[in-house]
Amino acid sequence: MPVTKSRRKKNPAHTAYERALTLLYKSDYTKAQAALEALVQKYPDEQQIMARVRLFLRLCEENKRQPKATLGGTELYDLGVFEHNNGHFEEAINQFKMALEKVSDTTDEAAVYSAIAASFARIGDAHKALGNLEKAIKMDAVHRYHAQHDPDFESLASNEDFKELIATGQGQ
C-alpha cells in the first residue's frame, strides 16, 4: 500500500532512490543506472530499497543490450507508488493500470488494485476507490486490514459502503 508523503520520513537514500526512479521513468537508462549504482555504493545497508535497486539495474542493463525493453508489472507498480507518494495521484493510477496488465499472480494483482483504490481515495473519487478496493479484498482479504489502517482511505471513513466493505467478513 502506498505510504502518503506526509507520513513518510525522507532520508537521503530514499531521496536518491526517487531521483533514480525519475530517470528510469523518463527512459534515461544510462543516467538511471549511474544513479542506482551510486545508491548501491553509498547506501548498501538500506535493505528496503536494495532489492528494488538491483532489479532496476538489471532493467538498465537490458536496455543497454536491447533498447526498448519494457517495464514489468513490479517496476510499473513501484513507479506508481513513487508518483502516489509525491502527490501525483492521476499519474500513479496510470502506472498502476499498466502494472495490472503485467502482474503475474493474484497477490500482486490484489496489491495493485488496492493501490489504485488508495489513489482514487486521495483524489476524492469514492466510487472508483471502493470498486478497486473491493476487487483487492476479494483477491486477498489482507487488504481489508490495510484499508482500515491506511491514511489514504481517511476520506472514506464516514462512507457507509466503505465501512461495510472493510467490516470483517465482507468483500470476500
pLDDT in tens, 58-110: 888 877 776 555 678 888 898 889 889 889 999 999 999 999 998 887 778 99
Cβ-based burial of 27 (10 A; exposed 0-12, middle 13-18, buried ≥19): exposed
Cell of 132: 478497486
Contact predicate 136/113, CB 8 Å: yes
pLDDT, position 1 = 54
pLDDT, position 170 = 45
pLDDT, position 2 = 54
Mean pLDDT of 11-37: 87
Cell of 55: 532489479
Question: Cβ contacts of residue 130 below 8 Å, gap of 6+?
Answer: 117, 156, 159, 161, 162, 165
pLDDT, position 6 = 47
Q: What are the CA-CA distances from residue 22 to residues 17, 26, 68, 96, 111 (Å)?
A: 9, 6, 17, 16, 22
More confident residue, 4 or 98: 98
pLDDT-wise least confident of 2-16, 40-54, 90-104, 148-162 = 2-16
Question: Cβ contacts of residue 152 below 8 Å, gap of 6+?
Answer: 1, 2, 4, 118, 119, 121, 122
Q: What is the CATH number of domain 5-65?
A: 1.25.40
User: Do the domains 5-65 and 73-166 sit in the same CATH topology, yes or no?
Assistant: yes
Domain ranges, ordered by start, for the chain: 5-65, 73-166
The amino acid at residue 85 is N
pTM above 0.75, yes or no: no
More confident residue, 140 or 24: 140
pLDDT, position 4 = 47
Give the CA radius of gyration of the chain. Answer: 17
Q: What is the pLDDT of residues 130-149, one digit of tens each?
A: 999 999 999 999 999 999 99
CATH architecture of the domain covering 73-166: Alpha Horseshoe (1.25)
The amino acid at residue 108 is D
